[in-house]
Structure 1
Amino acid sequence: MCALKPKIDIRGLTLEQLQSHIVAMGEQAFRARQIYSWIWQKSCVDFDEMSNLSKSLRDLLKQAFTINSVRVNKEQRSADRTIKSSFSLHDGNIIEGVLIPAPDRMTACVSSQVGCSLSCKFCATGYMDRKRNLRADEIYDQVVLIGKQAQAHYGQPLTNIVYMGMGEPLLNYSNVLRSVERITAPDGLNMAAKRITVSTAGIAKMIKKLGDDEVRFNLALSLHAANDSKRNEIMPINEQNSLRALAEALKYYYAKTKNPVTYEYIVFNGVNDGLKDAKELAAFCKHLPCKVNIIEYNPIAFADFENAPEDKIDRFADFLRQRGITTNIRRSRGKDIDAACGQLAIKETAASTT
């Protein structure tokens, strides 16, 4: 007895590849563009809903292809209107994403990997194993699902996307760039690239590759210390990507793209919140046009870090502003839910295996 031919993940195909399959089925090539529109513009995950296709073609599609869509597994709503979701993938893995409402924007925070390999000491995801990279369509699906939450709960569309969820985006480079392409393309979600920010823990050679590819989205570096020994301690990735190497890569990136960089800096109580730390950060900011986002910490059970007192954070930010550095304070959101990156996914993964 012959084994059934495995179905092809249709969203893994380019338009040209899809056209080849459609023509091989005996259909006209223009049908591929119709299908592509259903998949990427209308975010359709059910062939039966593709109403301008004949039933016979839809049946052929179901026989040959699959759409491995992402679904909401659990949703948590905070008193501050933040919505955090765990998402189930087709293979049973769980990731998470967050809708962050603000008066002037609706931001989706999405994941790029299942787990993470970088082991940052303050991050819940850093205590998970990296199981695999997310595919471009799985990143795309998070944006679509969080966008539906924004409309359903607040009657507003998404305005911004940040790749700041689980995983290191630059270690999933091709899928991240493909997802950005589908999100920004006129035959995709047609969002502006300037509304997208990709955050990295700091991989110098991949930052240079972003420059070579002349990306149009924004880049953020999770810095958290402008001192190598201190950064080595809280972010082991720094041992192979020193601050000097990162500064060189960022200058190269800026020369290629002319995009200013954002530095993310969580202020940990008694760790990186002193005057010396602020001076080191100000010195690092001199390398290229940039701004600093000071971020309040959401403590996790796996680590001993605590958020610095509010007045200390304000003094830290004022020190930078007095030196002409654009500085914003990002107050913690979702404190009454599993707000820190990875917390909800860890809980849901544990629950699914017990």
Structure 2
Amino acid sequence: MKEKKKDIRALTKQQLQDFFVSVGDKSFRGSQVYEWLWNKAAHSFDDMTNISIETREMLKENFVINHIRVDRMQRSSDGTIKNAVKLHDSLTVESVLIPTKTRTTACVSSQVGCSLDCKFCATAKLKRMRNLNPDEIYDQVVAIDNESRLYFDRPLSNIVFMGMGEPLMNYNNVMKAIEMITSPEGLGMSTKRITVSTSGVPKMIKKLADDNAKIKLAVSLHSAIDEVRTQIMPFNETFPLEDLRDALVYWHEKTKSRLTYEYIVWKGINDTFEDAKALLKFCKYVPCKVNLIEYNPIDDGKFKQASGEATQMYQNVLEQNGITVTVRRSRGKDIDAACGQLANKSA
């Protein structure tokens, strides 16, 4: 049986150099190919024009470039762009470009489906089919950067791991993708412009701290009362708030960075004064800011956006006690591109 071709982007630069030496070529040829694969984001070996045709044919015989393809692009009335991204094995994920006057932000996926079971999220209704590879995450960013330059005449400025999947449940691949996104040999973006948004996996938050990751951290909290949070996010039973708190304290002690809590207020679920006071208490553990996020319905009707008064009450309780609060209006709702809405409806 013919041996399956290797994904060439799974090789390090050193491994590529070693490969070329092993076939009687010079090691610098590996560096050239590496530059084409990452810095120039080549889709095929034929793009590698400073390499001989014979060498390109040899690469084709041994390797594949498992490149993503934007299968469908939708543009919202507010300028938001959503990509349905077809992977090499025909599975689909979604990524989003959110433009504002001062920045363009990529919201990228890290898993096909999701490992967790948040009741308010459309992605959670899909079973986790597999983790994305580092190059598949990287390719989403390249595609969105190209769209940002094409439609908004400026490069991508920020990246948020807040698309499909729980990034910390695909830790190694996400961190490798970030390494390439920030490397001068890749896209050369600053780690300060990258946010990893997690539902709260304590062990992996501690690992982020131990690995000295320079990225920003956001936590989808949605309640600071265990019983309420478990109703919203059942995995909270396994990773309760006490464990999450300890992990975040550990993370802050190591990084000295302020974190962000993402928080949706729902009618009849977490819209009382007691809920707001519990959040305030949780905010006191580490320096933080709170994003109060508008809810985007996913059709089942159980979760409804709380009243404006409830959101204002939260804002007052937090701000009166020195916590920075931002009320985030949703973008891309008309194309199901807003937070919690990514679910491959186009697939």
TM-score (norm 1): 0.95
Q: Which residues in structure 2 correspond to 1:184-195 (within 5 Å)? A: 184-195=182-193
Q: Which residues in structure 2 correspond to 1:197-236 (within 5 Å)? A: 197-236=195-234
Contact 1:86 1:345 in 2 (8 A): no
Contact 2:262 2:293 in 1 (8 A): yes
Contact 2:120 2:340 in 1 (8 A): no
Alpha-carbon distance in 1 for matches of 2:340, 2:30: 38
Contact 1:298 1:339 in 2 (8 A): no
Match of 2:55 in 1: 57
SS at match of 1:99: strand
SS at match of 2:106: strand
Contact 1:86 1:344 in 2 (8 A): no
Q: Shift of residue 48 of structure 1?
A: 0.8
Alpha-carbon distance in 1 for matches of 2:39, 2:309: 46
Match of 1:261 in 2: 259
Matched residue type, 2:263: Y
Match of 1:270 in 2: 268
Relative distance call for 1:6 and 1:342 in structure 2 (3 A) is: farther
Q: Shift of residue 159 of structure 1?
A: 0.4
Relative distance call for 1:32 and 1:302 in structure 2 (3 A) is: farther
Q: Shift of residue 107 of structure 1?
A: 0.2
| Residues 184-228 of structure 1, C-alpha deviations (whole Å, 9 max, x = no match) | 011110000010000111111111111110100011110000100
Alpha-carbon distance in 2 for matches of 1:200, 1:29: 40
Q: Which residues in structure 2 correspond to 1:229-244 (within 5 Å)? A: 229-244=227-242
Work out whether 1:105 is the aligned partner of 2:103: yes
Match of 1:176 in 2: 174
Contact 1:263 1:290 in 2 (8 A): yes
SS at match of 1:72: strand
Match of 2:278 in 1: 280
Name whichever of 97-106 and 307-316 sits farther off: 307-316
SS at match of 1:287: coil
Q: Shift of residue 309 of structure 1?
A: 2.9
Residue 346 of structure 2, aligned match among 345, 348, 353: 348
Matched residue type, 2:178: V
Relative distance call for 1:23 and 1:47 in structure 2 (3 A) is: same
SS at match of 1:198: strand
Q: Which residues in structure 2 correspond to 1:117-196 (within 5 Å)? A: 117-196=115-194
Alpha-carbon distance in 2 for matches of 1:274, 1:22: 65
Q: Which residues in structure 2 correspond to 1:294-309 (within 5 Å)? A: 294-309=292-307
Q: Shift of residue 274 of structure 1?
A: 2.0
Q: Shift of residue 256 of structure 1?
A: 1.3
Contact 2:191 2:214 in 1 (8 A): yes
The total of aligned residue pairs comes to 347
Matched residue type, 2:124: G
Contact 2:94 2:344 in 1 (8 A): no
Work out whether 1:77 is the aligned partner of 2:78: no
Matched residue type, 1:130: R
Q: Shift of residue 273 of structure 1?
A: 2.1
Contact 1:125 1:341 in 2 (8 A): no
Alpha-carbon distance in 2 for matches of 1:119, 1:341: 15
SS at match of 2:239: coil
Match of 1:352 in 2: none
SS at match of 1:142: helix
